[in-house]
Structure 1
Amino acid sequence: MYMQKLLSKARQAIKDFDMIQENDKIAVGLSGGKDSLTLLHILKRYQSFSPEKFELIAITLNPGGVDNSILHNLCKKLEIPFYEIQTNIKEIVFDIRKEKNPCSLCANLRRGALNDNANKLGCNKVALGHHKDDAIETFLMSMFYEGRVNCFSPKTIMDKQDLTIIRPLIYIDEYMIKKVTKEFNYPVVQNPCPANENTKRQEIKELISKLNKEIPGTKKNLFGALNNSEKLFIWDKEKIK
């Protein structure tokens, strides 16, 4: 029953942002974490009743030395073609570049590798497992660390690569994903990153949790602000003049 709630929210996001069209070939970026595993299951279920017929594959990027046999077995069970791409991302980020703040470089390398391989495999779309909490955290990180009002989009068209990035979980809270992961006992692969849970994003996550306790409705209002473009007011000097 709980999966139906998530499926309903994903279906609404797909509809609101026109994420899926007839004859799409969609590559799910399957990291093995709870978010990407939930996304894979949701899209597989959605595929069975979607008004648009589409293909689904899964791509896993191995940063180096990770045993992903459990993902091979899962995709075989779900009858989803699975592709594991070996990379040297971990070596580049931590051994060669020795990044103190590795997340940005790692994300760029992973994004590039995922998109390139999706292209080579004939996909026109890549689905990522970002959820509502990810959006709120990115929104605040952009303001706090970059001084701008910005967040990733539920759907991004990348003309140069002839790809569209979609995020069907964007209406789903992280706690819901944790519940369904536990309920269905998804085979979560341990994150091999040395910086896992020791990042600026983790600090922002904890700050939002604290604020939401002290000011009830904080998370709801922040997400509402992301969807309220009609009432966006920033100091545009030319317009104010």
Structure 2
Amino acid sequence: MRELSRKEKTEFNKLQKRLRRQVANAIVDFNMIGEGDRVMVCLSGGKDSYGMLDMLLALRGSAPVDFELIAVNLDQKQPGFPEAVLPAYLDGLGVPYHIVEKDTYSIVKDVIPEGKTTCGLCSRLRRGTLYGFAEEIGATRIALGHHRDDIVETLFLNMFFGGTLKAMPPKLLSDDGRHVVIRPLAYCKEKDLAAYADIKGFPIIPCNLCGSQENLQRVQVKAMLADWEKRYPGRTETIFRSIANVAPSQLADRALFDFAGLEQREPDAGSELHIRAVNL
């Protein structure tokens, strides 16, 4: 952690308290972690996953339930990946960890044509490997470092490019029902996590496979939201709140609401008497 002035220390303490409170609230609101859970904390080497591990370690000491944390990094064999960085960092923390080696990089480069987006396939391969490893170590929860802004961006990505109204839920049951995925940073802003990582001095490892693709749809959506936030401060937070305040009857999904069964109802006698009394 870098040296801070008195003013910076005050601001950092506020930031740290805010992030810890938001993570704690998300865990409670969605019942993410319970007594005896074995939480596999997925570390990518980015600011968000470092922050997630830091917050979970801090909260574990004061949590009303006992749970275990195991850090896991997937080494996808990207060229130039600094293999020693994460083990050195985790050894310093004294956190149990595993480095899983899987050459998904070569698979992605073989399958995806040059210049095309690699994120979709990379994500599926990474998810499948991590799910399989979670079973090996008996993890009951898989913690991912997606934050509030990731969730909002995904909402617009699915609307604009997928024709669906969905985002990233804070808690998810895998399709086969065998894995519970949690996102403890669901209430946290990306800019707060970036500021926290900068002060803490986390050893950031960039993603050379997908991070260099400037034409990604997610990059475009992120830029759009940043522009909205600049012109209308608080808009991203409002959009996020809307995800938790859904009115199915005001949309058009027939599987969620019985539009076909809607019929005009005749007022009952009590209603007629009430209307007459009000009119009088």
User: What TM-score do the two structures reach when normalised by structure 1?
Assistant: 0.94
Distance in 2 (alpha carbons) for counterparts of 1:232 and 1:49: 42
Residue 80 (str. 1) matches residue 95 (str. 2): yes
Corresponding residue of 2:135? 119
Farther-moved stretch of structure 1 (210-219 vs 26-35): 210-219
Report SS of the residue matched to 2:172: strand
In the alignment, is the contact (CA less than 8 A) between 1:119 and 1:161 conserved in 2? Answer: no
Distance in 2 (alpha carbons) for counterparts of 1:137 and 1:119: 30
2:187 aligned residue (156, 171, 174)? 171
Corresponding residue of 1:8? 21
1:154 aligned residue (157, 170, 178)? 170
Residue 68 (str. 1) matches residue 83 (str. 2): yes
The C-alpha deviation readout for 1:105-133, integer Å capped at 9, x for no partner, is 11110011111111101111100000000
Report SS of the residue matched to 2:176: helix
The C-alpha deviation readout for 1:205-235, integer Å capped at 9, x for no partner, is 0011112223343212211111102476212
Distance apart, 1:196 and its partner CA? 3.0
Report SS of the residue matched to 2:90: helix
Which has more radius of gyration? 2
Report SS of the residue matched to 1:191: coil
Distance apart, 1:74 and its partner CA? 1.4
Corresponding residue of 2:228? 211
The C-alpha deviation readout for 1:38-71, integer Å capped at 9, x for no partner, is 0111111111111111111111111114223121
Distance in 2 (alpha carbons) for counterparts of 1:110 and 1:224: 29
Corresponding residue of 2:259? 239
In the alignment, is the contact (CA less than 8 A) between 1:68 and 1:189 conserved in 2? Answer: no
2:149 aligned residue (109, 130, 133)? 133
Report SS of the residue matched to 1:189: coil
Query: Would you identify which runs of 4 or more consecutive aligned residues in structure 1 move more than 4 Å?
Result: none
Distance apart, 1:101 and its partner CA? 2.0
Residue 91 (str. 1) matches residue 132 (str. 2): no
The C-alpha deviation readout for 1:25-44, integer Å capped at 9, x for no partner, is 01111000000110111111
Corresponding residue of 1:54? 67
Report SS of the residue matched to 1:160: coil
Distance in 1 (alpha carbons) for counterparts of 2:249 and 2:52: 31
Corresponding residue of 2:207? 191
Change (3 A) 1:232 1:137: farther
Distance apart, 1:197 and its partner CA? 4.9
Corresponding residue of 2:118? 102
| Map 1:30-45 → 2, pairs under 5 A | 30-45=43-58
Identity of aligned residues (%): 31
Distance in 2 (alpha carbons) for counterparts of 1:209 and 1:182: 20
The count of residues paired between Structure 1 and Structure 2 equals 241
Report SS of the residue matched to 1:41: helix
Report SS of the residue matched to 1:57: strand
Q: What stretches of structure 1 of length at least 5 have no aligned partner? A: none
1:26 aligned residue (26, 31, 39)? 39
